[in-house]
Amino acid sequence: MNKGKALRAGDTIGVVATSSPATEEVLNKAMVELQGLGYKVKISDTCRESYGGYLAGTPEQRAAELNAMFVDEEVDGIMCMRGGYGSPQILPLLDYDLIAQNPKLFIGYSDITALHTVFGQRANLATLHGPMATSDIAHGLDDWSKQYLLRAMTRPEPLGAIINPPGEEIVCLVEGYAAGPVVGGNLALVSAMMGTPYQLDTRGKLLFLEDIDEEPYRIDRMLTQLAQGGLFDDCAGVVIGTWTDCEPKKREGFSVWDVFQNIVVPYGKPTIWNIQIGHGACNIALPLGVEASLDATNGELVIEESVTI
């Protein structure tokens, strides 16, 4: 894999708006927090723009700025401003050869799942599924999330075992052992890319999934799409993150737990549940594209390879 360098105090983090806009107030808070962690900050122009109400600039603007961040010699690592919606729009406009030739640590989650996928598959770039500038950093990270994020960003060594904060048990859904690179992210984005040139390749990989504010019937629909598209047939194992505000709202019936039992468990792939990665109060940084091992029987996910150099 191509890898960005581990960040040091005084390095510059480029903040890019790949998806939805944010307010100037929360953007300024994010800058202050990142500077408080010891970094310089460079903000892309579209971080201060809004297009159509739910996009931070046109697709062409956002893609051009992201391409530019990878070749900008002043920028040492790249963090997404926030998720929301919009990253799939820019996939055809990115220069994957340029990105492969200028690897940098790239951080984000949620809507950024589309970018993690294409960077891994088209630029062979290892990336970091983790907290973002205005969504998380601006509001102050909990200690557990902050610890994992800084370790992943600053140490050119494997992250090791992903351990939940106290009180959150990692549950085994299907026993067994599997190993391979970790891929995936937000279920809605993985589902949205099905049938496109950017569809997630799960062959021999550990598939990670999480989401927010989706009712069980919608999660059922998306998991069914992944199943019928062969993603669970192809993957080596399944890692299930947090499902914030995903309780039934319109009708009583299956829970998210039930849906995974019905759709994913029958594949018999080693599977764990409730690792604290995603839209929850704790969002542990998860390297993507690097080797990991999954001992589902004992509820252990171990990152065996560094995401930086």
Confidence (pLDDT) at 139: 96
Mind listing the pLDDT tens digit for each residue in 57-68? 999 999 999 999
CA 117 to chain CA centroid, nearest Å: 9
Confidence of residue 306 (pLDDT cuts 50, 70, 90): very high
Mind listing the pLDDT tens digit for each residue in 13-44? 999 999 999 999 999 999 999 999 999 999 99
Write down the pTM of the prediction: 0.98
Going by C-beta distance under 8 Å and a sequence separation of 6 or more, which residues neighbour residue 228?
none
The structural domains of the chain, with segments of one domain joined by +, span 12-140, 160-303
- The token pair at 221 is 């629909």
Contact present, 172 and 295 (Cβ < 8 Å):
no
Picking from 301, 219, 202, the residue whose alpha carbon sits closest to that of residue 260 is 219
CA distances from 237 to 11, 122, 166, 207, 296 (A): 36, 23, 25, 6, 9
Is the CATH code 3.40.50.10740 the one for domain 12-140?
A: yes
Picking from 82, 89, 84, the residue whose alpha carbon sits closest to that of residue 60 is 89
Q: Quickly count: other Cβ atoms within 10 Å of residue 228's Cβ.
A: 11
- The token pair at 147 is 């610890």
Confidence of residue 304 (pLDDT cuts 50, 70, 90): very high
Q: In CATH, what number does 160-303 get?
A: 3.50.30.60
160-303 shares the fold of 12-140: no
Q: Residue 209: beta bridge partners?
A: 185, 240
Mind listing the pLDDT tens digit for each residue in 178-194? 999 999 999 999 999 99
Confidence (pLDDT) at 21: 97
Mind listing the pLDDT tens digit for each residue in 39-54? 999 999 999 999 999 9
Going by C-beta distance under 8 Å and a sequence separation of 6 or more, which residues neighbour residue 73?
none
Eight-state DSSP code of residue 133:
T
The predicted model gives 123-135 an average pLDDT of 98
Amino acid code (one letter) for 261:
Q
Confidence (pLDDT) at 252: 84
Q: Quickly count: other Cβ atoms within 10 Å of residue 230's Cβ.
A: 13
Question: What letters, b where the CB count within 10 A reaches 16 and e where it falls short, cover 136-163?
Answer: bbbeebbebbbebbeebbbeeebbeebe
CA distances from 59 to 27, 28, 46, 191, 304 (A): 20, 24, 10, 21, 36
Helices and strands, counts by H and E, the chain: 9, 14
The predicted model gives 216-230 an average pLDDT of 98
Q: Quickly count: other Cβ atoms within 10 Å of residue 291's Cβ.
A: 18
Active site amino acids: 110, 210, 279
Length of the chain: 309
Going by C-beta distance under 8 Å and a sequence separation of 6 or more, which residues neighbour residue 125?
1, 2, 3, 4, 99, 100, 103, 106, 119, 289
Judge whether residue 132 has pLDDT over 90: yes
Confidence (pLDDT) at 6: 98
- The token pair at 306 is 């560094």
